[in-house]
Amino acid sequence: MSRGELLLALGDRGYLIGQQGTAISAIAGWTAENQVASIDQIFIFPADSAAKIGAAVLQEIENTANELLCEVVLAYSDEEDPKEIQQLLSAEGFEYIDPRSLPKTWQEAVADYTLENKGVMMKPLLTGRDLQLRKIKRN
């Protein structure tokens, strides 16, 4: 990412950083708008630290999303993402869903991110809402 791209990205989303000692091991880019938290970037290095450091970063996003009264956390997984990131999201309770089955207000949040190679994973934060979502199995 160039310096200019980084500055633009910082204006579009928040970033959470996970550290092991003084080394940065994880970075997640996310937004919260209209009661939907969206994670659109996750970088973890080394990949084998995903379960520990990545889980802590995702938990902090979830905690903040709850404070902001978000109803759901959506994560956008690229087919080219390392398997450790997809495993991390699954281990933290995210499931692939058909974005067309989301409530209309949530679909608006997804519309900004749905690209051809992106899958949508969801973790609901409110359990009282009756959702009729179609889950998708992905490898």
Strand order from edge to edge, sheet including 95-96: 14-20, 23-33, 36-44, 72-78, 118-124, 95-96
Rounded-to-integer distance, Cα 53 and Cα 108, Å: 30
> Given this model, what pLDDT does residue 105 score?
80
> Given this model, what pLDDT does residue 73 score?
95
H or E element at residue 16: strand 14-20
Assess contact for 73 and 37: CB atoms under 8 A: yes
Would you give the distance in Å from CA 132 to the centre of its chain? 21
Q: pLDDT, tens digit, for every residue of 110-124?
A: 877 665 667 889 999
The domain segmentation of the chain, as residue ranges, is 15-124
Rounded-to-integer distance, Cα 67 and Cα 77, Å: 24
Taking 90 as the threshold, does the pLDDT of residue 10 lie above it?
no
Per-residue pLDDT band for 40 (boundaries 50, 70, 90) equals confident
Both tokens assigned to 93: 């309770």
Taking 70 as the threshold, does the pLDDT of residue 128 lie above it?
no
Residue with tokens 């910082």: 10
Average pLDDT, the chain: 82
Class of domain 15-124: alpha beta
Q: pLDDT, tens digit, for every residue of 79-106?
A: 778 888 989 999 999 999 888 888 888 8
> Burial level of 4, CB count in 10 A (0-12/13-18/19+)?
exposed
